Amino acid sequence: MPRLKVKNLKNEDVGEIELSDRIFGAEVKEYLLHEIVRMQLNRRRAGSACAKERSAVSGGGKKPFRQKGTGRARQGSERAANHVGGGTIFGPRPRSYDFSPPKKVRRGAMACALSLFVKENRMIVLDSFELSEVKTKRVAETLGVLGANKALIVDTDQNDNLRYSTRNLDAHRFTTPQGLNVLDILRHDQLVITTRAVADVQERLERPVRERKGEA
């Protein structure tokens, strides 16, 4: 099982933590990371592009010119796609790009991302990250002491001072164990996480996967 040093806000070693081998010591499978990142990016797509077909274009109620005798090709409506201002053929319609991999795949990708940061020594475990007041400068100075240039900070949702103090930092982001996701992890250089957040993440990812009705 991987073991990491636990540090305080002064970057001093104050203990050691033993991590779950299934969550923080898993084999890094890049195809799982790619699948989940693609899923998250697809869910952000609006899918609201819409082109008018000939039935939605205004005008064109009558035949443009008579059927025979003009020497031109017969036309039934000015709303046809071959006319200027006509409808679009096979244009984009509102749709959803969302897809949902199985829960085991999503959990496996999360374990891969966390294990990658552990193996590359990019995960910093703190005993706590408590602030006496909302102070963005205090968070920036602390992350500088820890050597975190672009960090994803993870702590429980009770730490409101840390949440509000991180909002104005461009390079850093705060999230809770419930909101932790693969895309946010991979977009940052370091993962700064408290010991209580580690326990929450491990408990959530090691929880048995419920099988759907009808599955063996």
CATH number of the CATH domain containing 169: 3.40.1370.10
| Residues 158 and 200 occupy one common structural domain | yes
The reply to whether 38 and 53 lie within a common domain is no
129: enclosing H helix or E strand: none
The verdict on 52 and 10 lying in the same domain is no
What pLDDT score does 210 carry? 67
Look at residues 54, 75, 96 and tell me which one is the last residue of a structural domain.
96
**pLDDT recorded at residue 216:** 36
Give the containing element (helix H, strand E) for 139.
helix 136-146
User: Is residue 135 situated within a structural domain?
Assistant: yes
**Chain position carrying tokens 């933590």:** 17
Shared domain check, 179 and 75: no
**Residue 98: what residue type?**
D
Q: Are residues 18 and 90 in the same domain?
A: no
Domain contains 213: no
* Pair 109, 23: CB distance under 8 Å: no
pTM exceeding 0.95: no
Could you tell me if 199 and 129 lie in one domain? yes
Match 């975190």 to its residue by tokens. Answer: 148
End residue of a domain, out of 76, 96, 116:
96
**With contact defined as beta carbons under 8 Å apart, do 1 and 115 qualify?**
no
Please check whether residue 214 lies inside any domain of the structure.
Answer: no
Characterize 29-39 residue by residue with b for buried, 16 or more Cβ atoms within 10 angstroms of its Cβ, and e for exposed.
Answer: eeebbebbbeb
Same domain, 56 and 113: no
Measure Cα distances from 97 to 34, 110, 180 in Å: 16, 22, 22
Number of domains, the chain: 2
Residues 105, 75 share a domain: no
Which ranges of the chain have pLDDT less than 70? 210-216
**C-alpha Rg value of the chain to the nearest Å:** 27
Residue 62 belongs to domain spanning: 46-96
